A and B are shown apart, each in its own frame.
Chain A
């Protein structure tokens, strides 16, 4: 079946099997491998992307369900002039990543979280990230990065 999705502002149209997951559509059909797969039980959040501006775990969405939608992945988050998004920038400044495998999903999840709650407490951030697992950072610097980014008004965009 043919599925058309606007990915990072570009209209992508590909033939896929009906069972194809959005994450595989992004990685294999579109060729954007920034979005990772870390589990097979919807537990880790490594695959988190924005769909219609809200975060979704792209391993639980069929590509067909995303037909016609607007999807943003880590590759599409930076500003058109190449400047990093405030969440990306905060991750760097606060050493919010080590191996980097959880990072695209974490950054997308926090971006969505800050749009919904522009001034979260530490507890809000921790509860909001419950579905995004990281094995390297102990979450300490990820939470610090999220809180720092929330102070930047641009992080809502």
Chain B
């Protein structure tokens, strides 16, 4: 019987549950110095002077460094697309552009000494006008980078087809703010470095991509990749924001080399809220058109992306938004243009979904607005426009090719499980009764792209002479459960118990190559690589077995139920993996090993339907999520327990964006949500248990038939909950409420609608 598809509990867990994980801050580094950053308290200012003398003289302080001491080149542009004139210097060089930007690095014998001395660094700021709103930034009245001459870092304008809405009976436009949110992995950023007697930099990092850290750090410090060894020990969550290297990481590496002593750095949460990249941050102008029979014929999305102060990953995410612009619908004409602009705020980066939740939010909100406009049930409008399951591969108007889909099925299941008709009846009852607690039902039919920047992945499987197996993977899990999932894949191919399989990740010496874990790519890329390596190692074993049995190779069979090889017809004469691995070493000295550098199997397009039920207290504006039904299709599910866990986490983050979370700045660029007391991080008390179901439509794109599942939760849940809030208020005349639908926003929307009606 196959182990795949079973709810196998995690092999990772006993350690975490009994003694806790080993995160970077837990590493024992004898003699390590503590690094603390002095950060800008101003959003935009020239640095007239930085006086470090008092700090340098403070007890326990080893050194204080500013930009000129380092002599390092600025951060690299993002895939060559962002302007050279806007790259971030390593420690601020003359100008600060956001609150929290590192200005000086202070190294001391203890953390306390470093924190105390950091207070003594005197920074003389000459304030400049700050630009916080991207709508203002694009006007170029205050320019962040005079050498660039503009605040626009990147644009994509495919040329508007002015005629695209010609002939539409109905045409509606809405400006939608997809607000800036904070990723908030529970472990903040942390790094440590020391230099070996041979001059090699040993680097420890809380990262999603250790090989990327190795290569980036090597380039930044003018070293060869082989001169850097990166280990990511246990990592306390990343959600995209730990997929890239930060300036602080480079300073940690530089200080360890410069001082010749181990250096460690762990930011505080308050620093993390300013330093770790933020997610989302789009202002969308969406236009939808169609006919009164419910057919949607045109959709246009103009995106204004907030890059924050230095264009990073966030700048290029609108490409992903564009890729998914028309969602699950057969819209004949659809286009998406974008402009990414810098502002005096924390740089934006990838955050769970990274450009796709923004796309789903836009189209799904607009489908509801279209439905309201023509007075049709939103489920019915969706049904009429879904791409049919026999239309795949399906090419969208922007050229995206969807692999496979059964969109209608997930919609039907969601409606059925939720009891859609009963919900509508109850909604009508409450409306008729004028109940202060109104019911809202929100739908989101989504499709997204995983492994969207197609890269390959490394995987290897080695059988040791004692019969145990070691798997090396280029993915870098931080909660996803790859040790368990990859063990299952290998157990399936080799016929060995998962307990005999060791999975190694996150060490750039032991795993020679790797891309990492982000973009819901791991199972598709890394899992398929490991699966292929397992298949290859079985083939190699058969060669050896043929020699041992003195039989024809094609007569050798692997009995997976026992994990032994034999000649067809003589199962009693069998040889196990240990014997074959021993024979391999004896014969050629080489271990029984298969390595695979999987070329990218290409992206896949997970899809599904989420349905949210909310209660809105119309007297206070308070929204309660009552139910959330998620029907997701990620192709073949290797371990439903892990897949559900991914959905749960993503849904919670999606609900958080819809109802609670927002990074807020005042007009001068001062952050108002710079710690976990002020930022509305969603808690257990604000959520129900979720109803999660899967359909399994395997993708033809990769041998496992698997698609990504890591981000569907945020992509599907956010618009479903958002739509539910507006749906609860529709009869009051509310057409749109921006996220997060806080009590204040909801209450104001009800009042404004009442005033419009009264007027």
Q: Which residues of A contact B (CB under 8 A)?
A: 17, 19, 27, 33-44, 46, 74-75, 77-78, 84, 88, 91-93, 95, 97-104, 107, 122, 125-127, 129-144
Contact = CB atoms under 8 A, between A and B. Distances in A.
B236 A99 contact: yes
Interface string B641-685: 110110011111100000000000000000000011100010111
B563 interface: no
A95 B17 contact: no
A95 B556 CA distance: 40
The 9 closest A-B pairs by CB, nearest first: A34-B20, A101-B236, A138-B652, A98-B479, A99-B479, A100-B16, A138-B648, A43-B676, A33-B26
Contact of B9 (A17, A95, A130, A136): A95
Given A39-B676, A104-B20, A126-B687, A92 B9 contact: yes
Contact of A92 (B14, B478, B690): B14
Given A75-B19, A98-B479, A101-B21, A127 B186 contact: no
A75 B10 CA distance: 19
A99 B684 contact: no
Contacts of A130: 683-685
B684 A139 contact: yes
A14 B644 CA distance: 45
Nearest to A125: B684
Contacts of B683: 129-133, 139
Contacts of B420: none
Contact of B269 (A41, A93, A139): A41
17 contacts: A17-B112, A33-B20, A34-B20, A38-B187, A41-B676, A46-B186, A95-B641, A98-B237, A99-B479, A125-B684, A133-B676, A134-B186, A135-B185, A137-B648, A140-B689, A141-B644, A142-B684
Contacts of A107: 17
A91 B185 contact: no
B157 to A, nearest CB: 36
A76 B676 CA distance: 29
Interface in B218-261: 234-237, 239
Contacts, number: 179
B648 A36 contact: no
A38 B649 contact: no
B481 interface: yes
A84 B9 CA distance: 15
Contact of A38 (B21, B26, B188, B652): B188
Given A126-B687, A139-B683, A141-B648, 18 more contacts: A17-B112, A40-B270, A75-B18, A93-B9, A95-B644, A97-B10, A100-B21, A100-B236, A101-B21, A129-B684, A133-B186, A133-B676, A135-B184, A136-B479, A136-B645, A137-B648, A137-B652, A144-B689
A129 B685 contact: yes
A40 B681 contact: no
Contact of A74 (B19, B235, B689): B19
A138 B237 contact: no
A91 B17 contact: yes
Interface string B14-54: 10111111110110000000000000000000000000000
Interface in B242-289: 268-270
A66 to B, nearest CB: 19
A144 B684 CA distance: 12
A139 B652 contact: yes
A75 B687 contact: no
A138 B186 contact: no
Contacts of B642: 95
Contact of B681 (A98, A103, A104, A133): A133
Interface residues of B, number: 54
Chain A interface, DSSP helix/strand/loop, else mixed: loop
Contacts of B20: 33-36, 74-75, 100, 103-104
B412 to A, nearest CB: 24
B23 A36 contact: yes
A88 B9 CA distance: 13
A17 B25 CA distance: 20
A97 B13 contact: yes
A101 B189 CA distance: 13
A144 B17 CA distance: 16
Contacts of A36: 20, 23, 186-187, 236
B235 to A, nearest CB: 7
B645 A98 contact: yes
Contacts of A37: 25
Given A98-B481, A137-B645, A44 B236 contact: no
A107 to B, nearest CB: 7
Contacts of B480: 98
A97 B18 contact: no
Residue from B17, B18, B269 having most chain A Cβ neighbours under 10 A: B17
Contacts of B268: 40
Contacts of A139: 648, 652, 683-684, 687
A107 B683 CA distance: 16
Nearest to B679: A43
Given A125-B684, A139-B652, A143-B684, A99 B237 contact: yes
Contact of B17 (A97, A133, A141): A97
Nearest to A140: B648
A21 to B, nearest CB: 11
Contact of B234 (A77, A99, A126, A143): A99
Contacts of B188: 38
Contacts of A137: 645, 648-649, 652
Nearest to B185: A135
A95 B16 CA distance: 12
A9 to B, nearest CB: 15
Contact of B649 (A17, A98, A144): A98
A135 B237 contact: yes
Nearest to A42: B677
A103 B676 contact: no
Given A99-B186, A136-B649, A122 B689 contact: yes
A130 B681 CA distance: 11
A127 B688 CA distance: 11
A50 to B, nearest CB: 15
A44 B645 contact: no
B684 A126 contact: yes
A37 B25 CA distance: 9
A107 B261 CA distance: 37
Contacts of B652: 137-140
Nearest to B687: A139
Chain A CB within 10 A, most for which of B13, B684, B690 = B684
Most buried by A among B270, B642, B652: B652
B187 A138 contact: no
Contacts of B481: 98
B15 to A, nearest CB: 8
A124 B26 CA distance: 33
A116 B480 CA distance: 33
